[in-house]
Amino acid sequence: MLTHIPFPALPVPPSWFPGHMLQFQKMLPALLNKTDVVLELRDSRLPLTSINRNFEGALQKWRRERGHGPSTASSSLDTPTAGPSNGPICERVVVFSKRDLVPEWGIKPFQRALANKYRDQQHFFASWNRTRDIKALSELLVNVAKEHPYRSELNVLVVGMPNVGKSTLLNALRNIGIAGPTPKALRTSAHPGMTRVLSTRLKLSVEPLVYAYDSPGVMLPFLGRDMTGAERGVKLALIAGIKEGLYDTEALASYLLYRLNVLDPVSPAYLKLLPSGTPPLLDVHEFLNLLAKRLCMLKRGGVPDSSRAAVWFIRWWREEGGLASASAPALPDYSAASGMETFRRGWGFDLEWSVDAAQAGRYNEATIQTKMEECIDKFEEAAVEEEREGGSISSTQEKKRLKEQQKTRQRARSSARLAARRGA
């Protein structure tokens, strides 16, 4: 068992914010004016990193304008109502995609932790290949529409970062909600950035009428400074949320090796790729060399091709290794490390905490939930601190913002002087 897992060195995060993302971000407040339900998609493997804080301001304003404070729980989703409501509909549902790629033991504790921390949101975990998940989400939307029978239709807007499964979800909801064969309405891709413009309205249900819009995936304009930004960028690149080619694959492989070790320090998922009897590894170069030999990826002279092995390792994790890593136990086998006082545990790539070996016998869902709530608190505190220190915007973007402000002031002064001359 690995008793110490060093954090890898990470590259400076790139910037990837094409013009269509900025355009949609500017459109969002106007779109929300005609939206009843926001489906905000995140990736279960990155339940915190896949939050796009650039949406928060517009979403909170939308709720306030419709009479919902930031801490107001959503009545139509969380509690039964006495009768149909005549007020404006304003529901925010956070859908975590790819639930089959995170350990099942953590889903309920994490849902409860989220419910305690974000009372204005409904949280839903789903996997697009599980029909019951899609049916449950479809019923959720239909029930919201039925609770407001005075409305002729329900309008849903789907938002989220690139490659979290927005288009795939809408195709699945359409297939479930409309009787008979329904052709695929939206193109999907394993690569980020396929959807570049707001879709036309898609009908998801006939009785009651439910329509939805698909939207372009929006990346953060600036991933952050120092280690915070570096780790955020690598995580998003690993789930293919950032355009291919912007990251060195060996750097991604190094971080992936680290995370798989944290998820299961006794028997990490990658061991099945290596010769039998190989112990867990910490050094990415040693790992990639062994993997290259096992896959017969050799250069001239029999030298292991670690670059090809890194590409293969990342693709393996995205396609099947994620399922293998999701089988990691809630606790490792402590008998493999007698004398250890604490252990590191992880769930997904965002949540990590220490476990006191002396309390391992009392490790249950309530304990896991408490640990997860502490992770959420740390995440929120770090986000506030990053915002306060200006870490959410690059120096280049800050210069552009100041330049635009200066131009705006100059135009205002020019207009004032022109108005004064005309008045004279």
> What's the total number of domains in the chain?
2
Residues 347-358, buried b or exposed e (16+ Cβ, 10 A)?
bbbbbbbebebe
Instruction: Report the largest interatomic distance among the alpha carbons of the chain, rounded to a whole angstrom.
Output: 91
Q: Three-state secondary structure along 240-287?
A: CCCCCCCCCHHHHHHHHHHHHHHHCCCCCHHHHHCCCCCCCCCCHHHH
DSSP H or E stretch at residue 416: helix 395-423
Angle ∠(400,406,408) on CA atoms, nearest 5? 105
Is residue 317 in some structural domain?
A: yes
* Tokens encoding 335: 């008998």
Q: Are residues 60 and 172 in the same domain?
A: yes
The CATH code of the domain that includes 33 is 3.40.50.300
Which among 315, 254, 317, 313 has a CA at the least distance from the CA of 282? Answer: 254
Is residue 419 in some structural domain?
A: no
Are 263 and 328 spatial neighbours (Cβ–Cβ below 8 Å)?
A: yes
The model's pTM is: 0.82
Phi, psi of 232 (to 5 degrees): -60, -45
Give the residue numbers spanning the domain of 129: 19-79+86-213
Q: Are residues 307 and 364 in the same domain?
A: yes
**Final residue of a domain: which of 213, 228, 257?**
213
Number of Cβ atoms within 10 Å of the Cβ of 138:
19
**Final residue of a domain: which of 213, 230, 261?**
213
Q: Are residues 381 and 268 in the same domain?
A: yes
Virtual torsion, Cα 19, 21, 25, 28, nearest 10 deg: 120
Return the pLDDT at 228.
87
Q: Are residues 162 and 252 in the same domain?
A: no
Q: Are residues 148 and 289 in the same domain?
A: no
Q: Are residues 167 and 267 in the same domain?
A: no
Q: Are residues 58 and 184 in the same domain?
A: yes
Q: Are residues 183 and 56 in the same domain?
A: yes
**Helix/strand/coil for 418:** helix
Are 18 and 221 spatial neighbours (Cβ–Cβ below 8 Å)?
A: no
Tokens 């004032």, located at residue: 416
Is residue 185 in some structural domain?
A: yes
Question: Residue-wise pLDDT tens for the chain (424 aa)?
Answer: 677 888 999 988 888 777 777 888 888 888 999 999 999 999 999 999 999 888 888 888 898 888 876 544 444 444 433 344 567 899 999 999 999 999 999 999 999 999 999 988 899 999 988 999 999 999 999 999 999 988 899 999 999 888 888 888 988 898 888 876 565 555 554 545 445 456 567 889 999 999 998 888 787 778 888 888 899 999 999 988 887 788 899 999 999 999 999 888 889 999 999 999 999 999 999 999 999 999 999 999 999 999 999 999 999 999 889 999 998 888 876 545 555 677 788 899 999 998 887 777 678 899 999 999 999 999 999 988 888 876 555 555 555 655 666 777 788 888 878 877 777 6
